[in-house]
Amino acid sequence: MIRRAASAPVVVLGALASAGACAGPSAPPLVQPGAPGQPARVVDRDAARAAPAHSEADVHFMHSMIPHHGQALEMVALVPSRTTSEAVRAMALRMEISQRDEIAWIERWLRSHGAEMPVHGDHAMTAPGMLTPEQMGRLRAARGDEFDRLFLASMIQHHEGAITMVRTLFATSGAGQSSEIFQFANDVEVDQRIEIERMRTLLQGGGR
């Protein structure tokens, strides 16, 4: 899926120092340096538009992230009626809003890249870290301190799944190459790591 620019028409700089002349009255040529020690070259203006396209793995990552985030929202929705901890309540609210923002961004990305929206539940059970129906059932049934412990442990598992998804994405050849995907996936990893640390602290009784 990667469009390669390597085959783009290029010319050695010295040979076409006036290449810019054909592009406009005063625009200088687009120069592409080489690796250290290698010469620069002039790049054709159309070729300069080449950029890594999104790959199938990128689309799969984005598709999987929707049900994954969707389950996080289901878990978060259980919090207000079951928790007794202000810290867990506050954390859940933060998560709800950030996960909603992320889902909206993913949907916008999928739309603008012509990738079909997933059928709900399509990737759900294949996404790492997802809670099984049994785990969700236990969480639903729990109350008070027991709920808080179970919620934090489950959400850590769930978030670690998201980090695994990001790591898998970046470990897949051709994936995570567009700036949008790189930035989004990187942010998911950073944010979920922070929340995991925070939840571990709360689990150990260090929270307010």
Chain positions 111 to 140 lying near other proteins, rule: CB under 8 A, are 112
- CB of 4 or CB of 132, closer to other proteins: 4
101 binds other proteins (CB under 8 A): yes
172 binds other proteins (CB under 8 A): yes
Contact 136, 74 (CB under 8 A): yes
Residue 50 Cβ vs other proteins, minimum distance, rounded to whole Å: 5
Residue 110 Cβ vs other proteins, minimum distance, rounded to whole Å: 13
161 binds other proteins (CB under 8 A): no
Rounded to 5 degrees, what angle do the CA atoms 8, 12, 13 make? 115
Q: Within 10 Å of residue 20's Cβ, how many Cβ atoms?
A: 17
Buried b or exposed e, range 175-198, using 16+ CB within 10 angstroms: bbbbeebbebbeebbebbeebbeb
Q: Mark the segment that binds other proteins (CB under 8 A) among 124-132, 134-142, 150-158, 181-189.
A: 181-189
- CB of 150 or CB of 185, closer to other proteins: 185
- Which of residues 15, 21, 27, 117 is near other proteins by CB under 8 A? 27
Q: Within 10 Å of residue 71's Cβ, how many Cβ atoms?
A: 19
